[in-house]
Amino acid sequence: MLRIALITVSCLLVGHALPAAGQQRVERRLAVGERTPIRVHNLTGSTTVRGWAHDSVVLTGALPAGATLYFGGGAAGVKGGVELADPADTVPAHLELRVPRGARVWIKSASGDITVEGVAGGLDVYTVSGRVSVRGAAAELTAESMDGAVTVEAGRWARVKTASGAIAVTGGEDVGVATVTGTVTYAADAFRRARVESVSGDLTFRGALPRGSRLELESHGGQVTVEVPAALSAEVAITTFQGEVRNAFGSQALRSLPDQRGRALEFTAGAGGADLIVRTFKGDVRILRAGAKASR
Amino acid sequence: MMNDCERIGLRLDDYLGGMLSAGARAEVERHLETCSACARDAETLRRLLADARALPRSIAPPRDLWYAIDARLGEQAPARPGVRFIRVRPRLLAAAAVVLVAVTAALTMQLARRPIQAPLAAGPAAAPRYAAVAADYAAAVRELEARFVHSYDRLPPETRAVVSRNLAVIDTAIAEARAALAAAGPNPDLETLLWTSYRAKLDLLGRATKL
């Protein structure tokens, strides 16, 4: 009886260690430099990259049957990726990489999700319909997805773009965010310059405007919401053509500009010292005090 | 926490472009009177901007060359389902790269910065500038649309749907902004919104053609 149980457990353990039917497990290791550029190409599966405190790259993963892993390079640069036997193959490849924390990493996918944690060097991630998640602020970050949601912690410099994917950005010093129809939520209280724009997606900023900072929010048709502390200290300039403005800071009325130039609301909150600029064509604008209940 | 010099440095570009409010302008001027380093920076930037203004307004790639390269690239790479990378002669690739760099540089210099720096009040040169920039954008959009037509069939159906849906939203926004501009006349804020929509369209088309 004991022997049967042991055999059963052994079989289960072996089965767990093996890839799923039709998949092949891969593992590669390379010695690299602390700031080695690393390029990863995985069109259909998930790609996870984690920074670590070693000068080496370790790649593990599971590939669909017939797919080929290419992976090579050294301190000057590493390139890896998956080539599918059939480009129409829908079985995903899953790659997981450990890379030096200071590496500059470039990842491209089509339908796969991209997850990055703890890469402080530089990061360029592109996917078409996959989701992007970045934790641990890279010094320089570019993240783009056509349709997938993008969630990033920004570092010194960040640029994020989608067509219709929702975007959530936190932090950063110099931040640029653009979408067509996706929503954007930007939360920060120590940024220096940020520009957030959409064509029809709603934009939300939550946080504080540090002295000397400049925040621009612009949307043709999306609603713009700015949720800042009651102690806001900034020069505020709002322009809209057909949108409504709700302002929780003072009772200044929206004034019509001459020659059908729209309507504007300009005022200085507190001692000024920062710039908040909001511009919409027909999107409503709400300047709210943090903690106040918002309503559309 | 930024010091005064860092804070003023961030505003120099806008100051020299005449885009600061009266209060902010006075603050910058007060600082420049007392800080020789920032005054030197301002003078350097002023000279750079003057030099930049003296450059040709745009670097238009010869249209025939652009389309000829496009057509020749097509000849070199007969459509093969599933194969995304094409082999072209190095000289042809170099020519395409030069044109791409010229277009990108011209667009970047002439267009991308303008919306960010657009003054809040209309100046006397607003109308001609609007027409010129609108023409630049329209031409760039036409270029990319032509390329997009070639790559459209290669895209997965769901990606085509996303691109088409977003292009429709952008086109509506562009039409609305143009109609408002036609009714209101020169208007820097409306122009800024229009440029943003144009940029979104260029960006989306550019990304779609690269997929």
- Convert the pLDDT of each residue in A79-117 to its tens digit: 999 988 876 766 789 999 999 999 999 999 988 999 999
Q: Which of A146, A161, A272 sits opposite B162 (nearest CB)?
A: A146
pLDDT of B182 reads 87
Cβ-contact A171, A155 below 8 angstroms = yes
Q: Which residues on chain A are in Cβ contact (under 8 Å) with B187?
A: 259-262
**Greater confidence, A68 or B103?**
A68
Give the mean model confidence (pLDDT) for residues A203-222.
Answer: 97
Cβ-contact B35, B65 below 8 angstroms = no
The structure tokens 């507190």 sit at A270
Does pLDDT of A240 surpass 80? Answer: yes
Structure tokens at B124: 């006397």
Does pLDDT of B13 surpass 60? Answer: yes
Alpha-carbon distance of A63 to B39, in angstroms, equals 60
Does pLDDT of B121 surpass 60? Answer: no
Residues in a beta bridge with A144: A126, A161
Contact A211/B2, CB-based, under 8 Å?
A: yes
pLDDT of B32 reads 86
pLDDT band of residue A239 (cuts 50, 70, 90) is very high
Alpha-carbon distance of B162 to B211, in angstroms, equals 13
Q: Is B168 on the interface with A (CB under 8 A)?
A: no
Cβ-contact A114, A148 below 8 angstroms = no
Contact A192/B169, CB-based, under 8 Å?
A: no
Q: How many residues does chain A have?
A: 296
Q: Which of B162, B170, B203 to mutate to test the interface with A (most CBs of A within 10 A)?
A: B162
Q: What is the pLDDT of residues B128-143, one digit of tens each?
A: 677 777 888 888 888 8
Q: Which residues on chain B are in Cβ contact (under 8 Å) with A161?
A: 203
Nearest-Cα distance to chain B for A145, in Å, is 10
Nearest-Cα distance to chain B for A199, in Å, is 6
pLDDT band of residue A66 (cuts 50, 70, 90) is confident
Q: Which residues on chain B are in Cβ contact (under 8 Å) with A128?
A: 159, 211
Q: What is the pLDDT of residues B79-105, one digit of tens each?
A: 333 333 333 344 444 444 444 444 444
pLDDT of A293 reads 58
For residue B47, how far is the Cα from the chain centroid? 23
Contact B2/A241, CB-based, under 8 Å?
A: no
Alpha-carbon distance of A211 to B2, in angstroms, equals 8
Contact A161/B203, CB-based, under 8 Å?
A: yes
Nearest-Cα distance to chain A for B111, in Å, is 16
Query: Residue A95's closest CA among A57, A123, A128?
Result: A57
For residue A144, how far is the Cα from the chain centroid? 8
Q: Which residues of B84-102 are buried (b: 16+ CB within 10 A; e: fewer)?
A: eeeebeeeeeebbeebeeb
Structure tokens at A54: 């070693």
Side-chain half-sphere exposure of B42, counting CA atoms within 13 A: 23
